[in-house]
Structure 1
Amino acid sequence: MTPKHFVSTLAATELPSVFNPWRDRCAVHDRRDAAAKRRDNLERLLIAALDAKVETIWIARDLGYRGGRRTGVPLTDEVHLDRAGALMGGIALQRATQGPAVAERTAAIVWRVLEQIGQPVMLWNVFPFHPHEAGDPLSNRCHTRGEREATWPLLQALIAMLNPRRIVAIGRDAHLALGDVGIPTTAVRHPSYGGQRDFIEGMFAMYGIDGGALETPRLPLEAPYAAARSCALA
């Protein structure tokens, strides 16, 4: 499967109470061509990953509403979008939303580690979309088994396309879900809910990096969402 075919297949997927950032548009926060920009971001990222012969995929559980839901780049918020492009060889990644850039704490920690490692990796999620509570599109929830099974072929296609040597599962949920992928999988603690230090130390140990002092990353542009939390799909 080519990057273009993969992104097209991803964009064709529609599930209830799920925001597909490569298909859907938030009428409150997104620009008119937001889904197209996010598709372009992901396709550029995949092409760059193939060109760089990326050997590792980091896989978390599912998209959060402040990160990949807005950028189309998993585990990456708008504050770190330019850094994602730089790490992948200087590709141009575009913002798809209006207003101030929004930061996400998990993305801030992930990108602190990536900048120290200095190696391109592919970032992904077991469930590639943003699952939310019914009627509250800007909430977060864990995806269901049925949702995971419905999208599992997409994960298999990504792995087959990139052919990585190693997968890093971010968090217990991701590690349990990835038990059957057939590629060596290493688990690290998810950086949320008090897991920041364990995540950083685990990643640094995996890549042979001296972590030094571990400080909480600052979120310089942690702009709140608009007061109206309704987000219509259009």
Structure 2
Amino acid sequence: MDISTFMQHLISYRGENTFNPWNDFNPDYDTADALSIRRKNLEDYLSSRIHRARILLVAEACGYQGGQFSGIAMTCERMLLDFHPTVNSQMILHHSGRRTSRPDSPFITKPAQKEKGFNEPTDSVVWKACLDAGLLPDEFLLWNIFPFHPYKKGNLLTNRTPTDEESAAGLVYTKELMEMTGPIPVFAVGKKSESTLTAAGIPVIGLRHPANGGANIFRAQLKEALR
């Protein structure tokens, strides 16, 4: 398995009420070249980490404020556009990032999102915790069990929990990614990720999900585990 083959496998996925950032295009929200940007984002992100990453962190699914527009797990568009206080495009891609959400979209109504792109709080917590724990940007690899964006029917700018069938389908991509990285520690971000990976026989270190008041616990658990 190489990155090109992996990308083609990701691109081929289709699912109901699921947005595939590397194959799906929505003119209501996406810039004209959104697909090519998101594909290159992931390719560049993986290329700099496959052989350098010391750990793999796996969460549940891509969210509309994060990977849907960035094309990278637990990474939001505002980071790629250098509007984030902690993380910038050089850390992620080693070059400047480009926008994929339409600043002129009538369906994106918040002024900050129109001006600076989407921001995902969980992404901010995960990135900062990894950096604060002493990891270099290329030393941790972020992923999701279900690497696509599951949304509530009729509303793309929502998130929903992946079904068991979707998690099982997504697990295939996680295993392919692990083939490319080789044997490195796997950290499961949240119980859903932990149970899915454990049931598949993959040894993991479980971490509290940062959402819903779990940020401080996540930070402490990650720092302790890395010791």
Same fold per superposition (TM over 0.5): yes
> Higher mean Cα deviation, 133-142 or 123-132?
133-142
Residue 140 of structure 2 corresponds to which residue in structure 1? 121
Following the alignment from structure 2 to structure 1, what is the Cα–Cα distance between the partners of residues 88 and 188? 19
Q: Does 1:161 align with 2:160?
A: no
Following the alignment from structure 1 to structure 2, what is the Cα–Cα distance between the partners of residues 128 and 77? 14
Following the alignment from structure 1 to structure 2, what is the Cα–Cα distance between the partners of residues 93 and 114? 21
Residue 110 of structure 1 corresponds to which residue in structure 2? 126
Residue 11 of structure 1 corresponds to which residue in structure 2? 11
Aligned letter for 2:135? G
Aligned letter for 2:72? V
Question: Normalising by structure 1, what TM-score?
Answer: 0.82
Q: Does 1:98 align with 2:92?
A: no
Aligned letter for 2:122? T
- Contact 2:62/2:74 (8 A) holds in 1: yes
Following the alignment from structure 2 to structure 1, what is the Cα–Cα distance between the partners of residues 40 and 123? 20
1:28, distance to aligned residue in structure 2 (A): 2.0
1:12, distance to aligned residue in structure 2 (A): 1.1
Aligned letter for 1:199? F
Task: Map Cα deviations across residues 27-53 of structure 1 (whole Å, 9 max, x no partner).
Answer: 22211111111111111111111242x
**3-state SS of paired residue (1:165):** coil
1:87, distance to aligned residue in structure 2 (A): 3.4
Change (3 A) 1:166 1:85: farther
Work out the percentage of aligned pairs sharing the same amino acid: 30
> Higher mean Cα deviation, 158-167 or 122-131?
158-167
- Matched positions, count: 207
Residue 148 of structure 1 corresponds to which residue in structure 2? 167
Task: Map Cα deviations across residues 198-228 of structure 1 (whole Å, 9 max, x no partner).
Answer: 01111122234xxxxxxxxxxxxxxxxxxxx
- Contact 1:58/1:170 (8 A) holds in 2: yes
1:166, distance to aligned residue in structure 2 (A): 0.5
> Higher mean Cα deviation, 19-28 or 174-183?
174-183
Aligned letter for 2:14? E
Aligned letter for 1:13? Y
Q: Which runs of 5 or more structure 2 residues have no equivalent in the other structure?
A: 104-114
Q: Does 1:189 align with 2:208?
A: yes
- Contact 2:146/2:169 (8 A) holds in 1: no
Matches within 5 A, 1:64-103: 64-81=63-80, 83=87, 85-87=89-91, 90-99=94-103, 100=115, 101-103=117-119
- Contact 1:165/1:184 (8 A) holds in 2: no
Q: Does 1:173 align with 2:192?
A: yes
Following the alignment from structure 1 to structure 2, what is the Cα–Cα distance between the partners of residues 137 and 195? 26
